[in-house]
Structure 1
Amino acid sequence: MGDATEETFELEDGPVDSQEPLTAGYTKEKDGEVYVVGEKDRKKDIRSFCLSVFNLMNAILGSGILGLADTMNNLGVILFYVLLLITAFLAGYTINLLLITSKHSGEKSYEGLAVRSYGRPGKILTSIMIVFHCLGAMVSYVFIIKKEMPELVRVLANSTSVLSGEHDEAMDPWFMQGWFLMLVVVLFVIVPLASLKDIRFLGYSSAFGMFCMLLFTFTVVYEKFVIPCPFSALHNKTTEILSNITEEEPQVCKAELARVTSKSAYAVPTMIFAFMCHASMLPIYQELRRPSTKKMQKVAGVSISLVFFIYTLSASFGYFTFYNKVKSELLLTYSDAIPTDPLIILSRIMVLICVTLSTPLLHYPCRKTIITTFFPDPQVFKWFRHLAVMAGLLTLTVVLVVCIPNIRDIFGLAGATSSTSLLIILPCVFFLKLADRDKVSRMSRIKAFVLLVFGIAFMIASVILIIYDWVARKD
């Protein structure tokens, strides 16, 4: 990426504390001097590294995992793998650009890089993109509540219509409708949590969310060997047919290697949405013990590689279970096929808890960005402003959830706009503006410029194709 100075080992905190044992240690060399790092110090470094990997993985993993099987269905297997790999590489590459830019400029936050690059207009534009991304993630979480909660309530209530595959959602009473159950959760769980001045205790939900994603991936892999194809032939001891899907077209039990349809326009934006973590990366970098560019590059490489593996597993086994009948929200497909399966029920409960707790947790940085960018005296806490911004954000979230018919639309639009800006466009802009020309090669700047042009063209093309698909569906 840059010259040799970017690759040397950095021991920014200097030699280790002389009170720590130096026997059985190891050495690192910098500028011709050898530093002896003790075993105890090495363990602290490893622990810090592992914690940073966990935090960055947690920042990446989210609701996007539920849409990747549908993405594979819309692209075909080979095209999906190629584009997912390219997206993962782009995420790692632009993280590296941010790290180099942060080191050269001395700025430690995404917003700080924006201010340093283009002053207040740059900060406003970056803040808008961050708000849009957070809003998109919140909408996807509440959308999952809207879709999953009625199904779970009916299964737990042992509804005979669900078990017989004859259930009609339109016949449900109003208090069993998705919009009503969603409002109950928002008003009585999310609003009280989002109203609090401090929700540090919800930080534990991050670890729980990671566990939910891993459990979901395990469920997807396991159910591949349980659900037959076609899955409408699946039987239970007490019922004839568990599937409640009305077959519009026969299920095809064969994977397509490559395909392009109108829905393919959502594919890469969904992938970009699934890998977005750049606004959270710099704070994680600062929390590293003895932070260095090279060390954070390794953290990013390990995190993105592990997430890529999880995404590939869940998308592949989800698609290879249902093929052309996979839904845009993967968990609903399993719920249709085997609604009373204990593992599916457990996964649904944990995912619902996870997204319910993650919504107020994600709402806080969104509100903070709005207050610090658009209000005077942001450092002064004001309850009216605190609650008013919260009410506006959650109201907008609920309205969008009610109006948007498919979670694919959320992933696609958010991925094409805010996620593309934060993952591709802005890191390149910051690098070209702030990186020291004497310390980065000309080729690195050319690559960043080409990637910037690609990001802008991709965003415009994706938005046009998505809007065209919306218009075509209405017609």
Structure 2
Amino acid sequence: MTDDPREDDSSRSNSNDFPSPDRPLNGQNPDLDADGQTFLPKHNAGKKHETRYHNASVSMSVFNLGNAIMGSGILGLSFAMANTGIALFVFLLVSVSIFSIYSVHLLLKTADEAGALVYESLGYKAFRIPGKLAASCSITMQNIGAMSSYLYIIKYEFPIVIQSFTGANDGEWYVNGDYLVILVSVIVILPLSLLRNLGYLGYTSGLSLLFMVFFLIVVIIKKFQIPCPLPLPDTGNETMFSSTPDNATTDDDTCKPKYFVFNSQTVYAIPILTFAFVCHPTILPMYDELKDRSRQKMQNVANVSFLAMFIMYLLAALFGYLTFNIHVGPELLHTYSSYYKYDILLLVVRLAVLAAVTLTVPVVLFPIRTSVGHLLFPGKDFSWIRHAIITLILLAGTNILVIFVPSIRDIFGFIGASAAAMLIFILPSALYIKLVKKESLISVHKIMAMMFLILGFVVMIGCMTLIIYDWIVNAMKEQGH
């Protein structure tokens, strides 16, 4: 699950198993400790490792890359459309899709030229330690954002599931989202995260992709079931699994989709889209494993995967927006609970999504922990104490973030404008300009890469500035100024 139960949104990333800066195209990764070598079978050392490389077919690579792209970001796309309008959103969606494909092209060409297939290795070759740190920190931030978004889903959706089965009032402690996030983290996520070998958990990405396809189908179905104008919000007093409420609002504006919208929330649209599309740390490991590998073949894999995700994202955003219009929230699945809290189909979707994200958080945490371990304790042998302490700190920090940051919109916005912009725009173009020596700086390709780099800085600085301004304005409103 973009934004990703995988990664996504760059959990997604196996490249976070902090590599040697000079890893050759087909070589082993000598810097990985035992922890890093036991995440998934393809990280195993020795003959097993060699037999798993270069055996991924094009179709399987398309599926795997689709898994890497599809993440929790899909839940915020309707909110983005509501605050840009249909026409502007489609323009932005097409643009970010094309930019993502172009950045993959830059990455693949740079990898071939530099002879390395790991993001951090390319960063080191281009800019030494600062480049390595920039790549590692961007991937780590993106994965923390993905992990936070999954915990937000638990915080939002788990209370509704419990209320559906128990009929509990909102005031009960066991339907408090903050408490439930902590409980799920301690009881389920922490034990799984402490495992040295996550094994089968690495394969939950395929399951989570199926769950998100199921979610998309339900979004489309609900568009034709929910009347317009919208029903009054569900008070929670109806019988379990009640169908359409009888009362309806008189707000005809909810039935009129808009094509261009500009407001204070419009600034979140681009970060949400970049968060939903970022998958670039997984591109190079997938390229390394592609059967009969060629750059054009991997580019075709990326083109097909991005096209498939473009269609899914467009449908999810469009039908979610047409259902709720101006009332759509930052997290689409939670928006349904305001009107259809006990709908059985939505309850099934919630259970599926909750299962997927809960099992995916350890998978997302794993590469963050490995990267932190390599940054802070390079060359050290595996230590259970260090392993546990890093895990506890990462999980506790993410829980604090989820509890005190008021909305998942802020996570989508901040990570999308910073780490995702780095991974999609800035790093691929900077690495290309620095490492591809056979093209002069005044060649068409280098000029395009330079323009792409400038665009990346404009997107990052512009979006971050406007988002921080929005935070300041909202904080002042809350204080009565």
TM-score of the superposed pair, with normalisation by structure 1: 0.84
What is the DSSP-based 3-state SS (H/G/I as helix, E as strand, rest coil) of the residue aligned with 1:231? coil
The aligned residue for residue 361 of structure 1 is: 363
Distance 1:178 1:338, change over 3 A: same
Deviations 1:314-339 (A, max 9, x none): 00000001111111110011122222
- If you compute each CA radius of gyration, which structure gives the higher value, 1 or 2? 1
Distance 1:77 1:64, change over 3 A: same
* Percent of aligned pairs with the same amino acid: 38
- Aligned pair partner of 2:147 in 138, 148, 157: 138
Distance 1:157 1:397, change over 3 A: same
The aligned residue for residue 293 of structure 1 is: 295
Equivalent-residue separation in structure 2 for 1:276 and 1:243 (angstroms): 39
**Residues 285 and 296, structure 1, Cα contact 8 Å, conserved in 2:** yes
What is the DSSP-based 3-state SS (H/G/I as helix, E as strand, rest coil) of the residue aligned with 2:255? coil
- Aligned pair partner of 2:66 in 47, 57, 80: 57
Residue type of the partner of 1:470? W
Distance 1:312 1:371, change over 3 A: same
How much has 1:430 moved relative to structure 2?
Answer: 0.5
Equivalent-residue separation in structure 1 for 2:247 and 2:62 (angstroms): 40
The aligned residue for residue 95 of structure 2 is: 86
Equivalent-residue separation in structure 1 for 2:424 and 2:374 (angstroms): 22
The aligned residue for residue 398 of structure 1 is: 399
Is 2:111 aligned against 1:105? no
Bigger shift: residues 413-422 or 248-257: 248-257
Bigger shift: residues 213-222 or 224-233: 224-233
The runs of 5 or more residues in structure 1 that have no matched partner are 1-11, 14-44, 160-166
Equivalent-residue separation in structure 2 for 1:408 and 1:467 (angstroms): 13
Residue type of the partner of 2:62? V
Distance 1:471 1:109, change over 3 A: same
The aligned residue for residue 161 of structure 2 is: 152
What is the DSSP-based 3-state SS (H/G/I as helix, E as strand, rest coil) of the residue aligned with 2:258? coil
**Residues 229 and 251, structure 2, Cα contact 8 Å, conserved in 1:** no
What is the DSSP-based 3-state SS (H/G/I as helix, E as strand, rest coil) of the residue aligned with 2:102? helix
Is 2:228 aligned against 1:229? yes
Equivalent-residue separation in structure 2 for 1:306 and 1:241 (angstroms): 33
Equivalent-residue separation in structure 2 for 1:245 and 1:198 (angstroms): 53
What is the DSSP-based 3-state SS (H/G/I as helix, E as strand, rest coil) of the residue aligned with 1:225? helix
The aligned residue for residue 415 of structure 1 is: 416
Distance 1:287 1:229, change over 3 A: same
**Residues 204 and 360, structure 2, Cα contact 8 Å, conserved in 1:** yes
Equivalent-residue separation in structure 1 for 2:193 and 2:58 (angstroms): 31
Deviations 1:95-117 (A, max 9, x none): 01000000011011001100101
The aligned residue for residue 26 of structure 1 is: none
How much has 1:152 moved relative to structure 2?
Answer: 1.1
Is 2:427 aligned against 1:426? yes
Deviations 1:132-176 (A, max 9, x none): 1111111111011011111111012245xxxxxxx6x3xx12222
Equivalent-residue separation in structure 1 for 2:341 and 2:157 (angstroms): 11
Q: How many residues align?
A: 422
Equivalent-residue separation in structure 2 for 1:251 and 1:183 (angstroms): 39
The aligned residue for residue 213 of structure 1 is: 212
How much has 1:459 moved relative to structure 2?
Answer: 0.6
Residue type of the partner of 1:192? P
Equivalent-residue separation in structure 2 for 1:51 and 1:114 (angstroms): 28
The aligned residue for residue 69 of structure 1 is: 78
Distance 1:177 1:100, change over 3 A: same
Distance 1:251 1:193, change over 3 A: farther
Deviations 1:246-288 (A, max 9, x none): 9897752110110111111111011000000001110011111
Equivalent-residue separation in structure 2 for 1:403 and 1:244 (angstroms): 37
Is 2:439 aligned against 1:442? no
Equivalent-residue separation in structure 2 for 1:291 and 1:174 (angstroms): 54
Equivalent-residue separation in structure 2 for 1:246 and 1:394 (angstroms): 43
How much has 1:375 moved relative to structure 2?
Answer: 1.6
**Residues 242 and 339, structure 1, Cα contact 8 Å, conserved in 2:** no
**Residues 111 and 127, structure 1, Cα contact 8 Å, conserved in 2:** yes
The aligned residue for residue 3 of structure 2 is: none
Distance 1:251 1:328, change over 3 A: farther
Distance 1:202 1:50, change over 3 A: same
- Aligned pair partner of 1:95 in 94, 104, 129: 104
The aligned residue for residue 34 of structure 2 is: none
Equivalent-residue separation in structure 2 for 1:313 and 1:119 (angstroms): 43
The aligned residue for residue 351 of structure 2 is: 349
Equivalent-residue separation in structure 2 for 1:154 and 1:234 (angstroms): 16
Deviations 1:176-219 (A, max 9, x none): 21111111100000000100001021022111111111000001
Deviations 1:328-386 (A, max 9, x none): 110011122222222111100000111111111000111111112232215x2111221
Distance 1:313 1:385, change over 3 A: same
Equivalent-residue separation in structure 1 for 2:351 and 2:248 (angstroms): 25
**Residues 63 and 140, structure 1, Cα contact 8 Å, conserved in 2:** yes
Distance 1:441 1:185, change over 3 A: same
The aligned residue for residue 323 of structure 2 is: 321
What is the DSSP-based 3-state SS (H/G/I as helix, E as strand, rest coil) of the residue aligned with 1:337? coil
How much has 1:238 moved relative to structure 2?
Answer: 6.0
Equivalent-residue separation in structure 2 for 1:436 and 1:361 (angstroms): 37
How much has 1:46 moved relative to structure 2?
Answer: 11
RMSD across aligned positions (CA): 2.6
Equivalent-residue separation in structure 1 for 2:451 and 2:457 (angstroms): 10
Residue type of the partner of 1:395? A
The aligned residue for residue 339 of structure 1 is: 341
The aligned residue for residue 462 of structure 1 is: 463
Distance 1:49 1:376, change over 3 A: same
Equivalent-residue separation in structure 1 for 2:167 and 2:284 (angstroms): 48
Residue type of the partner of 1:186? S
Equivalent-residue separation in structure 1 for 2:406 and 2:252 (angstroms): 24
Is 2:320 aligned against 1:311? no
Equivalent-residue separation in structure 1 for 2:442 and 2:62 (angstroms): 29
What is the DSSP-based 3-state SS (H/G/I as helix, E as strand, rest coil) of the residue aligned with 2:265? helix
What is the DSSP-based 3-state SS (H/G/I as helix, E as strand, rest coil) of the residue aligned with 2:57? helix
How much has 1:128 moved relative to structure 2?
Answer: 1.1
How much has 1:237 moved relative to structure 2?
Answer: 9.6
Distance 1:468 1:243, change over 3 A: farther
Equivalent-residue separation in structure 1 for 2:317 and 2:266 (angstroms): 15
Bigger shift: residues 387-396 or 315-324: 387-396
